[in-house]
Structure formats: C-alpha cells, structure tokens
C-alpha cells in the first residue's frame, strides 16, 4: 500500500518495519457474570472495556482472554504473539493454573510487557514478579481519588496535566508491600485520608512491568478517559525495546573459554554436561 505525497520518516524506511503492537487483555471475568452492577457497567466484561480503550490507539492489535477459556486463553502461541499482557483479576487468583502462570512469567522474562491493574496486585504473576506479598490496605466506600504525576514528562503520563480525579473508587492505602519501584509515575490521594503509589514500574529479565491502581469492578473506572489514556500509554511503554532474552544456563567448557585455560582440580560435572537446575 502506498501513500502518495507523504513525507516518510527515514526511520520508518530503514528499520525493519515494526509489526503492529500486539496486546492481550486478560480478565478473570467472574464478577461480570455474577454481579448485576458489574454487568451493567461492563456488559462484555471489564477485559473488553479495557481492550477497547487500548485499541483506540492505532497500531495496536488487541485481543482478550479470560479465566474460563481453555488454558485461560493464554496458550503458548497466544503468549508468543503477545507483546504486552494486561491483567485484571480479583476473586479468582487462586484458580489461575500454575502452569499458565509459569508460561506467562517465562514470556515476561523474554521481553513481554506486563501490566497489572487494581486487584491484580494479588495475582499470581504479579506476586511472582515482585517477590513480595503485595499487600495493602483498602476500603470500599466510593470515595474520590486523585492521581498525581511524579514525573511530568514520563511516557506513561503523556497527555495528562499534573493530576486527574476519579469520583468513586475503592481506596488502596500504604503500606504497599512491593519492592522499591524503578520509577514511581503516580501517587494517589484519597478522600478518606490515605495515599498510595498507584503507578509503578519495574524490570524483570527483559520484561517491563507497570502496576496501575484504578479499577474497581462496581465503578465505571475503565470508561474514564484519562484512565484509558494511561492504559494506552502504558502499553506502548511496556513493549520490549529489543530482542528476546532467551533464558539459558550454559556450561562454557575450558576449551571454549575466552582465555587460554587448562582445567585444574577435581570436578563434579563432565565437560559439556548440563548443570543442575
């Protein structure tokens, strides 16, 4: 397909044309089916609303997957073809199959971005990536939340001016048992008096991780324009910059050592043998 008369950026011409950014939005899809309030706000499930928000960005191919699907919709090939995985879970964390979790983690470590939303702080993948309890305090009182940007020029905060409000939310409060984030993008103020690090980034292996707090199931938070903007910004931010990090633990025998080397002393392993894991 051509475009006559368009000034093409040299980078678009010279680099391998980047494929479209492929996003999978995973939702446990439990509240939506059980709770009429939730169903009214999110008729096709929160995951669909989130996916639609992300798909407003052209250049993104967005699909969804839910707990109820075989392998929770996260087959090896779906994950292979996912650049960024977005996760919403709450009541059914324990029902997520551990083999699927391992598959997700392996892809994150290779380079798949991972975005954990709201109650996904207690999801299996997020807790495994953090290595902490990820506990917090909380309250369901429909109070106001105001998210402040800690770094005005951060790509995840693009298009937002200083702060934004969400009228009715479920409060999350410190202490938030996470490892010190690489970057704190948002901190929230709550009407009831609490604060919370509501937008945080980490790197695990080659995977970029973003936790974003807003999102309670009985409020229309994923219809909020700024929340939707953050989701799109975060997905772009989380996509891997480079190649895959293929995990290996190879033995480099003496004859292959970069420097001349004669083996000395006793050995447990034979040359070329795989190690223990």
Beta-bridge mates of residue 28:
none
Query: Quick one: which segment of 47-55, 72-80, 193-201, 221-229 binds its own copies (CB under 8 A)?
Result: 193-201
Structure tokens at 118: 């709201």
Closest distance to its own copies from the beta carbon of 123 (Å): 11
User: Cis ω on the peptide bond leading into residue 175 (within 30° of 0)?
Assistant: yes
Residue selected from 111, 113, 199, 215 as contacting its own copies according to rule CB under 8 A: 111
Q: Interface with its own copies includes 193 (CB under 8 A)? A: yes
Indicate whether 157 belongs to the interface with its own copies (CB under 8 A): yes
Which residue in this structure is represented by tokens 């938030």?
176
Q: How many residues bind its own copies (CB under 8 A)?
A: 121
161-190 residues in contact with its own copies (CB under 8 A) are 163, 165, 168, 171, 173-177, 179-184, 187-190
Q: Which stretch binds its own copies (CB under 8 A): 63-71, 74-82, 200-208, 223-231?
A: 200-208
Question: Residues near 185 by Cβ (< 8 Å), separated by ≥ 6?
Answer: 149, 150, 151, 154, 156, 157, 199, 200, 201, 210
Q: How far is the CB of 158 from its own copies (least distance, A)?
A: 5
Cβ closer to its own copies: 69 or 253? 253
- What's the token pair of residue 5? 């008369």
Q: Which residues of 199-232 are buried (b: 16+ CB within 10 A; e: fewer)?
A: bbbbeebbbbbbbbbbbbbbbebbebebbbbbbb
Least distance (Å) between residue 242 CB and its own copies: 4
């Amino acid at each position: 397909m051509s475009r006559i008369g368009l000034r093409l950026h040299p980078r678009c011409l010279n680099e391998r044309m980047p494929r479209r950014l492929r996003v999978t939005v995973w939702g446990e899809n439990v509240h939506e089916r059980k709770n009429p309030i939730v169903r009214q706000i999110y008729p096709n499930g929160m995951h669909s609303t989130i996916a639609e928000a992300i798909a407003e960005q052209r250049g993104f191919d967005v699909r969804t997957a839910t707990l109820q699907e075989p392998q929770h919709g996260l087959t090896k090939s779906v994950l292979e073809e996912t650049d960024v995985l977005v996760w919403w879970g709450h009541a059914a964390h324990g029902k997520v199959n551990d083999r699927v979790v391992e598959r997700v983690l392996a892809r994150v470590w290779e380079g798949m971005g991972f975005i954990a939303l709201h109650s996904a702080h207690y999801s299996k993948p997020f807790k495994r990536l953090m290595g902490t309890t990820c506990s917090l305090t909380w309250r369901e009182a429909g109070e106001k939340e105001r998210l402040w940007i800690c770094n005005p020029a951060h790509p995840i905060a693009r298009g937002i001016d200083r702060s934004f409000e969400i009228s009715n939310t479920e409060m999350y409060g410190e202490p938030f048992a996470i490892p010190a984030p690489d970057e704190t993008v948002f901190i929230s103020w709550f009407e009831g008096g609490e604060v919370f690090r509501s937008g945080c980034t980490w790197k695990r292996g080659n995977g970029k991780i973003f936790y974003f707090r807003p999102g309670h199931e009985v409020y229309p938070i994923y219809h909020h324009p700024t929340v939707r903007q953050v989701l799109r910004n975060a997905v772009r931010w989380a996509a891997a910059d480079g190649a895959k990090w293929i995990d290996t633990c190879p033995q480099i025998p003496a004859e292959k050592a970069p420097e001349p080397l004669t083996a000395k002393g006793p050995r447990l392993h034979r040359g070329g043998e795989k190690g223990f894991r």
